[in-house]
Amino acid sequence: MVDQIRGEPVGVELTRVAKSYGAVPAVRGVSLAIEPGEIVSLLGPSGCGKTTTLRIVAGLERPDAGEIRIGRALVNTLPPWKRNIGMVFQSYALFPHMTVAENVAFGLRMRGVAGATMDQEVAAALAQVRLGGFGERRPSELSGGQRQRVALARAIVTRPSVLLLDEPLAALDRQLRESMQIEIREIQRAVGITAIFVTHDQEEALTLSDRVVVMEDGRIVQSGTPAEIYERPRTRFVSDFVGFSNVLDGRVAEGGRELGTVTLTAGRLVPVSLAPDIAPGDEVDVVVRPEKVWVAAAHEAVPTAGHAFPGTITHSVYMGALTYHHVAVEGVGRVVAMVPNVEPATSGTLAVGSAVLVGWRPESALAFRRNDPGARAAS
Amino acid sequence: MTASPPRPGERLLAGYVGLVLLFLALPVLIVIPLAFSTDASLIFPPRGFSLKWFANILERPEFASAFRVSATVAVVATSISLVVGTLAALAFVRYRFPGRDTLLLVFMTPLIFPAIVLAAALALVLSPLGLLRSIAGLVCAHVVLTLPYMLRTAIATLSEIDRSLEEAAQTLGANRWRTFRHVTLPLLRPGLLAGITFSLIISFDEFTVSMFLVGPGLMTLPLEMYNYSEFTLDPTLAAISTILLGLTTIAIVVIEKLVGLGRQFS
Ligand SMILES: Nc1ncnc2c1ncn2[C@@H]1O[C@H](COP(=O)(O)OP(=O)(O)OP(=O)(O)O)[C@@H](O)[C@H]1O
Ligand SMILES: [Mg+2]
């Protein structure tokens, strides 16, 4: 058994874990240390090995190589029922022949908890997911969001050492998903549990996690706080995966330090931030997120010192809270800038056709080598 | 999502019940009135009401004894088929092993083989084992005959059970046995009940194979009825049929009720 003081979170550590299904490698050498009480999300495209990694931690899949530790214990050969984990499946996997209360009570019964204690804990867990009074229903009589919450209650009622969630929100509509994200986060904090959360939704990963682990092709490509992953993606793949960017191609003019310049194919010299292994002369893609690009009417003062490029707004997409302006910039190309609608968008200072200046801070423009193998998933 | 589609076990059972009813309906209309007839000859419609043919059954101990043999064989063979069939279904559905398809085919052959070939084969195998003219021999043969039905319904139901339900149970602390006991088995129940019904009726009704294995002092009910009809063709047979009909109906109604309860699980 994984030794654990009830309510005391434990860490999880994977060391060079690998798993193939026949000839298909699903996970190839994943090393990952998760701190006690941390909520980590595994983010990546379909088929990158997220579920497999989670199932290996759960004990539902046995790795071909590597070590898995929960707490201090090596659990490689420990079956799932001895790992003291809680798992929420993508399909929820609620037992159809049991009521909601019986579903939640299942883990307690397996641990020999019965009678009034069991009833109390079940009621408390259902209250925690705001499903008090639903105990006598069948899973088939619940909505998707309610089923999801039952699955969550069932997974946490036993106070597991680790909570594993496999895209639990994928089937829910946007609004419900967002409120469930907050709920999961709050419950995870309240229970003080270590959690691993699988998702292919970058927004979900950023909002929900202490740390985001981006996977590609069975490997971890980057692991860091949501801000690190978003602001300082290490590869083009990570950059593309965690949000839309402008991509401008060019050649490094000046580099060697962290900041440098790139001569764009379109002609202009722009300031950029360079990955460490990039040298002058390298072909690069310069990646700039829309919210990092400022736009100002041509007659206005330039917001920050540095480069400002003249351009013309070709069209604008109004999104309520913000507007995306597509700007044709001479010697650069088309640049999309995201502008929060601080003033009413109807005020018209940034109308289609108007001459504007655009620019960005050098550290916001990341240059990645063009033939970076990670670049193939370009958006 | 209150109205989820019925599980295959239930669909099988529903279809089966429908077929059985249709099959039974026509002869029933004739057999039941005949059983209460006053005439010794089979005249339809009967000209009076009497219970003497039922009394006649009781007067002839060979019917009671044959009924006991048939019931014992049906229950024992079905129980063995149930256990073997369920375990085999688990192996077939849950694991991929060399020779799996061939083995499955072997299990299913009694469905396709001509009954007479099977009868001769079983007699030839059971004779040197000293199992001819014994309950044990009949049970062996009936296991072979009923197993395909049991296996088929169990496999159909089992392959519809979401694997992640069992995995969820395991992550919640249930070992293999408790997972089977608390999750797989309850979900398998409708399918197994359908299999049990099939099996009981197949066994009770069996004629060709049993004929090779019975002898003086050991008769199954269908064979006893056949023997009787060779000498006397009176409504006694109709009376027996009426009783069997009643029992079958009760069995089906009871199982429908049980599976009907199960229906709200899905
Ligand atoms: N049971 C299995 N048998 C064979 N191959 C499998 C099996 N499960 C997963 N794979 C393969 O292993 C790879 C990783 O699968 P995995 O389910 O871990 O991906 P994932 O990141 O969870 O993807 P998704 O976002 O689509 O759920 C895929 O190529 C997949 O086809
Ligand atoms: Mg997956």
Which residue's CA is minimally distant from atom 24 of ligand 1?
A46
Q: Is B236 helix (H, G, I), strand (E, B) or coil?
A: helix
Contact B173 A81 (CB under 8 A): yes
Counting atoms of ligand 1 from 1, which one is nearest the CA of A215? 21
Q: Is B137 helix (H, G, I), strand (E, B) or coil?
A: helix
B172 touching A, CB under 8 A? Answer: yes
Contact A158 B173 (CB under 8 A): yes
Confidence of residue B3 (pLDDT cuts 50, 70, 90): low
Reported pTM: 0.81
Closest ligand by atom to A53 CA: 1
Q: How far is residue A92's CA from residue A72's CA, in Å, rounded to a whole number?
A: 29
Asked if residue A50 has its Cβ within 6 Å of ligand 1, the reply is: yes
On chain A, the residues whose CB falls within 8 A of the CB of B174 are: 81, 106, 110
Cα dist from B259 to A87, B190, B224, whole Å: 31, 6, 34
Asked if residue A49 has its Cβ within 6 Å of ligand 1, the reply is: yes
Cα dist from A340 to A343, A345, B133, whole Å: 8, 9, 92
For residue A93, give the nearest of B162, B182, B262 by CB distance. Answer: B162
Those residues with Cβ within 8 angstroms of residue B240's Cβ, 6 or more apart along the chain or in another chain: B57, B63, B221, B225
Is the ipTM of this structure higher than 0.90? no
pLDDT at residue B5 in the model: 63
Ligand 1 pocket test, candidate residues A28, A41, A48, most atoms within 8 A of CB: A48
Say which residue the tokens 């397996």 belong to: A110
> What are the start-end ranges of the H helices in A192-319?
202-208, 226-231, 236-241
What chain A holds in terms of domains, given with CATH numbers, is 12-231 (3.40.50.300), 244-378 (2.40.50.100)
- Ranges of beta strands (E only) in chain B are none
Residues in chain B, total: 266
CA distance A335 to chain B (A): 47
How far does residue A215's CA lie from ligand 1's centre (Å)?
A: 13
Confidence of residue B260 (pLDDT cuts 50, 70, 90): low
For residue A81, give the nearest of B175, B182, B187 by CB distance. Answer: B175
Q: Which of residues 202-261 of A touch B (CB under 8 A)?
A: none
Counting atoms of ligand 1 from 1, which one is nearest the CA of A53? 18
For residue B173, give the nearest of A89, A110, A138 by CB distance. Answer: A110
Say which residue the tokens 């499955």 belong to: B104
* A1: nearest CA partner in chain B: B173
Asked if residue A261 has its Cβ within 6 Å of ligand 1, the reply is: no
Confidence of residue A277 (pLDDT cuts 50, 70, 90): confident
Tell me the per-residue pLDDT of B188-241, one tens digit each, with 9 for 90 and over: 988 898 889 889 988 998 999 999 998 888 999 999 999 888 888 888 888 888
A315 touching B, CB under 8 A? Answer: no
Closest ligand by atom to A45 CA: 1
* B173: nearest CA partner in chain A: A81
* B265: nearest CA partner in chain A: A97
Tell me the per-residue pLDDT of A163-221, one tens digit each, with 9 for 90 and over: 999 988 887 778 878 888 888 888 888 888 899 999 988 888 888 899 999 999 999 99
How far does residue A55's CA lie from ligand 2's centre (Å)?
A: 10
Tell me the per-residue pLDDT of A35-94, one tens digit each, with 9 for 90 and over: 999 999 999 999 999 999 999 999 999 999 999 999 888 999 999 999 999 999 988 999
What are the extents of the domains in chain B? 52-265
Cα dist from B96 to B77, B100, B104, B175, whole Å: 28, 7, 12, 21
Residue A357, amino acid = L
pLDDT at residue B146 in the model: 94
Q: How far is residue A208's CA from residue A179's CA, in Å, rounded to a whole number?
A: 11
Q: Which of residues 21-80 of B touch A (CB under 8 A)?
A: none
Contact A140 B4 (CB under 8 A): yes
How far does residue A52's CA lie from ligand 1's centre (Å)?
A: 6
Q: Please state, rounded to an integer, the average pLDDT across all residues of chain B.
A: 86
pLDDT at residue A7 in the model: 56
How far does residue A54's CA lie from ligand 2's centre (Å)?
A: 9
On chain A, the residues whose CB falls within 8 A of the CB of B172 are: 81, 86, 106-107, 110, 154-155, 158
Confidence of residue A1 (pLDDT cuts 50, 70, 90): very low
Q: How far is residue A224's CA from residue A214's CA, in Å, rounded to a whole number?
A: 9
CA distance A226 to chain B (A): 29
CA distance B194 to chain A (A): 18
pLDDT at residue A57 in the model: 96
- How far is Cα of residue B186 from the mean position of the Cα atoms in its chain? 21
Q: What are phi and psi of A223, to 5 degrees?
A: -140, 130
A171 touching B, CB under 8 A? Answer: no
The answer to whether A199 and A122 have CB atoms below 8 angstroms apart is no
Asked if residue A59 has its Cβ within 6 Å of ligand 1, the reply is: no
Asked if residue A200 has its Cβ within 6 Å of ligand 1, the reply is: yes
Tell me the per-residue pLDDT of B116-160, one tens digit each, with 9 for 90 and over: 998 999 999 998 988 888 999 999 999 999 999 999 999 999 999
Q: Are strands A309-318 and A269-274 parallel, antiparallel or unpaired?
A: unpaired
- How would CATH label the architecture of B52-265? Orthogonal Bundle (1.10)
Residue B60: pLDDT above 50? yes
CA distance A287 to chain B (A): 41
B4 touching A, CB under 8 A? Answer: yes
Residue A340, amino acid = P
CA distance B173 to chain A (A): 4
Which residue's CA is minimally distant from atom 25 of ligand 1?
A46
Largest distance between two CA atoms of chain A: 76
Q: Is the dihedral of CA A328, A329, A330, A334 positive or negative?
A: negative
* B185: nearest CA partner in chain A: A97
Q: How far is residue A11's CA from residue A235's CA, in Å, rounded to a whole number?
A: 28
Residue A347: pLDDT above 50? yes
Tokens for B58, please give them. 């009781």
- Burial class of residue A354 in the structure, from the number of CB atoms within 10 Å of its CB (0-12 exposed, 13-18 middle, 19+ buried): middle
Q: Please state, rounded to an integer, the average pLDDT across all residues of chain A.
A: 87
On chain B, the residues whose CB falls within 8 A of the CB of A159 are: none
Confidence of residue B37 (pLDDT cuts 50, 70, 90): confident
The answer to whether B90 and B187 have CB atoms below 8 angstroms apart is no
Tokens for A111, please give them. 């641990």
How far does residue A51's CA lie from ligand 2's centre (Å)?
A: 4
Tokens for B73, please give them. 């064989």
pLDDT at residue B264 in the model: 40
Tokens for B256, please give them. 């429908």
Q: How far is residue A311's CA from residue A291's CA, in Å, rounded to a whole number?
A: 17
pLDDT at residue A229 in the model: 92
- Ranges of beta strands (E only) in chain A are 12-21, 24-34, 39-43, 65-70, 73-74, 85-88, 162-166, 194-199, 211-216, 219-224, 246-254, 259-264, 269-274, 283-288, 294-297, 309-318, 322-329, 333-340, 355-359, 365-369
Tell me the per-residue pLDDT of A309-339, one tens digit each, with 9 for 90 and over: 889 999 999 888 889 999 999 888 899 999 9
For residue A107, give the nearest of B2, B172, B265 by CB distance. Answer: B172
Q: Is A286 helix (H, G, I), strand (E, B) or coil?
A: strand
CA distance A162 to chain B (A): 11
Q: What are phi and psi of A316, to 5 degrees?
A: -130, 140
Contact B186 A97 (CB under 8 A): yes
Q: Are strands A162-166 and A85-88 parallel, antiparallel or unpaired?
A: parallel
Q: How far is residue A334's CA from residue A266's CA, in Å, rounded to a whole number?
A: 10
